[in-house]
């Protein structure tokens, strides 16, 4: 394993940390709706954390594409389920972000946003599973 191959592991490690962060953000959002005292503070923490996680997901998606393009000759860049689920994850988080910005103007916003967030966490977990299948040996 040469020094260049270490970069092939940056994407999976960052992905693992990002999925843990997404799960934590989901817990904050869910708990903010369930508790009377402390709910607004949890919601503020959720609102501060989620933009950072969004950009981590987008950046990690780009990093994954680059790591395959530059370092993996054994994988066709756009033909894996891992790539497809990654695209769905970015799209779902983008939709969740848009709904959160317009939540008060969208009648179903307060219902739709947590559903999109939950779907994103599920997609992220599935994405991690699919990524393990194509880890470099």
Q: What is the pLDDT of residue 47?
A: 94
Q: Which of 59-63, 116-120, 133-137 has the lowest mean pLDDT?
A: 133-137
Distance CA 137, CA 134 (A): 9
Q: What is the pLDDT of residue 53?
A: 97
Average of per-residue pLDDT values in the chain: 90
Distance CA 101, CA 89 (A): 18
Structure tokens at 44: 């503020």
Distance CA 126, CA 85 (A): 8
Judge whether residue 131 has pLDDT over 70. Answer: yes
- CB 11, CB 64: distance < 8 Å: yes
Q: Which of 18, 46, 17, 19 is nearest to 30 (CA)?
A: 46
Please state the domain count of the chain.
Answer: 1
CA contacts within 13 A on the Cβ side of 46: 23
- CB 114, CB 100: distance < 8 Å: no
Q: What is the distance between the terminal CA atoms of the chain, rounded to a whole angstrom?
A: 10
Q: What is the pLDDT of residue 4?
A: 55
Domain that holds residue 56: 3-133
- CB 85, CB 126: distance < 8 Å: yes
**What is the tens place of the pLDDT at every residue in 76-94?**
888 899 999 999 999 999 9
**What is the tens place of the pLDDT at every residue in 25-64?**
999 999 998 888 889 999 999 999 999 999 999 999 999 9
């Amino acid at each position: 394993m040469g020094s260049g191959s270490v970069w092939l592991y940056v994407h999976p490690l960052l992905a693992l940390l990002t999925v843990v962060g997404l799960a934590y953000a989901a817990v904050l959002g869910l708990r903010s709706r369930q508790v009377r005292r402390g709910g607004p503070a949890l919601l503020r923490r959720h609102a501060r954390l989620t933009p950072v996680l969004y950009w981590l997901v987008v950046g990690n998606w780009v990093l994954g594409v680059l790591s395959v393009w530059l370092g993996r000759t054994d994988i066709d860049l756009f033909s894996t389920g891992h790539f497809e689920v990654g695209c769905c994850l970015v799209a779902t988080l983008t939709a969740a972000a848009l709904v959160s910005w317009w939540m008060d103007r969208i009648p179903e916003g307060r219902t739709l946003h947590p559903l999109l967030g939950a779907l994103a966490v599920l997609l992220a977990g599935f994405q991690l599973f699919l990524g393990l299948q194509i880890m470099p040996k």
